[in-house]
Structure 1
């Protein structure tokens, strides 16, 4: 599982001209799910997202987590995070989970993040042609991969 976290002052997702999710201060999270991902991977990543201390404290240092700033999450499913680009110029997405696995895991990530934050998670629509608008704050962008969880 891969996630790209972008610290934002605002972000929204639009599908067919309709806003499906929008937030103010918080994280835009682009989430890629792989066939080999497990419930353990999901829980580890959700805890990392919620606990990531990249929001400014009173001294301007990145020391606060999402809950410390009453922040929100906009979660967007993005299979292209598993693009393989080694050969040719057309990416391959063989590592990305198919919808029958990815949809339940995406939905579980929403539930897990809501349970951890105690807040509703804004979303896009799985598989839709989404238009994402954001104002990256910093900019601060963090890439996380559950394959790194065992590397100390």
Structure 2
């Protein structure tokens, strides 16, 4: 198994997004991406969702197949109805399909959270290190605030 730190830079290649700062959170079931929903639409009989992702002062417009709308319980215990997409997620050199909920994470330090469903049978978390699967970044020991 690969070892992942408590924070990593990840990619969502089908959405054209790379270098996304992500917090690794084995306490969360579902991965989550900060997004502002623009519209839901249909193409070739499939449901899609168009949304914007903001981080680092840049806005990225994305489209993805809309898999579901689910009740997801946030860290404060509140259940929210969220769109869920399924798209390839790349952590380090490993790329796999992941379910990701679209949520307002504007109050969070990281625009993306990687939950245990994405980690399961792929990664072990070393909470004392950062950037273990981030090419070009030197691993950092210890938990320092971002």
TM class by shorter chain equals under 0.3
Q: Give the TM-score normalised by the residue count of structure 2.
A: 0.28
As a proportion of its length, which structure holds more helix? 1
Q: Give the TM-score normalised by the residue count of structure 1.
A: 0.27
As a proportion of its length, which structure holds more strand? 2
